[in-house]
Chain A
Amino acid sequence: MKFDTVIIGGGLSGLVSGISLQKAGRSTAIVSAGQNAMHFFSGSFESLTEAPERLMEIFSESGVNVHYSKGVRLMPLGTFKESSLSLEDISIFPDPAFARKVMVVNLAGYHDFFSSFIAEGLEKTGIGCRVCTIRLPELEHLRKSPSEMRSVQIARVMDRIWEKVMQEIRLMLKDEDAIVLPQVFGLQDITVPARIREVIPAKVVFTGTLPPSVPGLRTQMQLKRYYETLGGTFLMGDEVVDAHCHDGSVHSVETRNLGRHYLEADNFILATGGFFSKGLAATPQEVYETVFNLDVEYSEDRNAWYDPDFSKDQPYLDFGVKTDEALHPMRDSVTFKNLYAIGSILGSTRKEFGTASGGAILSAFHAVDKILSGK
Chain B
Amino acid sequence: MKIQEHTVSAHNFEECMKCTVCTAYCPVLQVNPLYPGPKQAGPDGERLRLKDPYFFTTALKYCMNCKRCEVSCPSGVHVADLIQAARIKYDKSAPKLRDMMLASTDFMGRMARPFAPIVNGITSLGITKTVLDATLKIDRERTFPKYSAHGFESWLWRHSREQSAFEEQVAYYHGCYVNYNYPQLGKDLVKVLNALGVGVQLLQGEKCCGIAMITNGMSDKARKNAAKNMEALSKAVDKGLGVVTTSTTCTLTLRDEYPQLLGVDNSYVRDSINLATRFIFEKLSKGAELHFRPDFKMKVAYHVPCHLEKLGWGVFSEKLMRMIPGLEFTLLDSACCGIAGTYGFKKENYKVSQEIGAPLFEQIRLVDPDVVACDCETCKWQIEMSTGYKVMHPVSILAKALANQD
Contact = CB atoms under 8 A, between A and B. Distances in A.
Given A153-B29, A153-B30, A145 B72 contact: no
B271 interface: yes
B20 to A, nearest CB: 5
Interface string B341-370: 000000000000000000100000000000
Interface of A: 1, 33-36, 39-40, 141-142, 144-145, 147-148, 150, 152-153, 156, 188, 210-212, 217, 221, 225, 228, 233, 235-239, 255-259, 261, 276-278, 283-284
B33 A145 contact: yes
Interface in B39-84: 40, 70-76
A253 B30 CA distance: 36
The size bracket of the interface on B is: 35 or more
Nearest to B59: A145
B24 interface: yes
Given A153-B29, A228-B331, A212 B21 contact: yes
A277 to B, nearest CB: 6
11 contacts: A33-B74, A34-B74, A34-B76, A35-B73, A35-B74, A141-B33, A152-B30, A153-B29, A210-B20, A258-B312, A261-B278
A142 B24 contact: no
A239 B70 CA distance: 12
Contact of B312 (A40, A144, A152, A238): A238
Nearest to B25: A35
B336 to A, nearest CB: 14
Given A40-B19, A150-B24, A152-B30, 7 more contacts: A33-B74, A144-B34, A145-B33, A148-B23, A235-B312, A237-B309, A256-B312
A233 B71 contact: no
B33 A237 contact: no
The 9 lowest CB-CB distance pairs between A and B, nearest first, are A257-B312, A237-B71, A34-B74, A144-B33, A152-B24, A141-B33, A238-B312, A212-B24, A35-B21
Contact of B5 (A33, A39, A283): A283
B11 interface: no
B30 A236 contact: no
A15 B65 CA distance: 29
B23 A33 contact: no
B12 to A, nearest CB: 12
A53 to B, nearest CB: 29
B162 interface: no
A35 B72 contact: yes
A153 B310 CA distance: 23
A283 B312 CA distance: 30
A150 B71 contact: no
Given A257-B311, A283-B5, A237 B72 contact: yes
B36 interface: yes
B313 interface: yes
Interface in B76-114: 76
A308 B359 CA distance: 47
A141 B355 CA distance: 15
B251 to A, nearest CB: 12
Given A33-B74, A153-B30, A145 B23 contact: no
Nearest to A277: B74
Given A35-B72, A258-B312, A145 B20 contact: no
Contacts of A35: 21, 25, 72-74
B333 interface: yes
B119 to A, nearest CB: 39
A215 to B, nearest CB: 13
Interface string B5-26: 1000000000000011101110
B219 to A, nearest CB: 25
Contacts of A235: 312, 315
Contacts of A239: 76
Contact of B76 (A33, A141, A211): A33
B37 interface: yes
Nearest to A155: B24
B366 to A, nearest CB: 13
Contacts of B35: 145
Contacts of A283: 5
B128 interface: no
Interface string B270-287: 010000001000100100
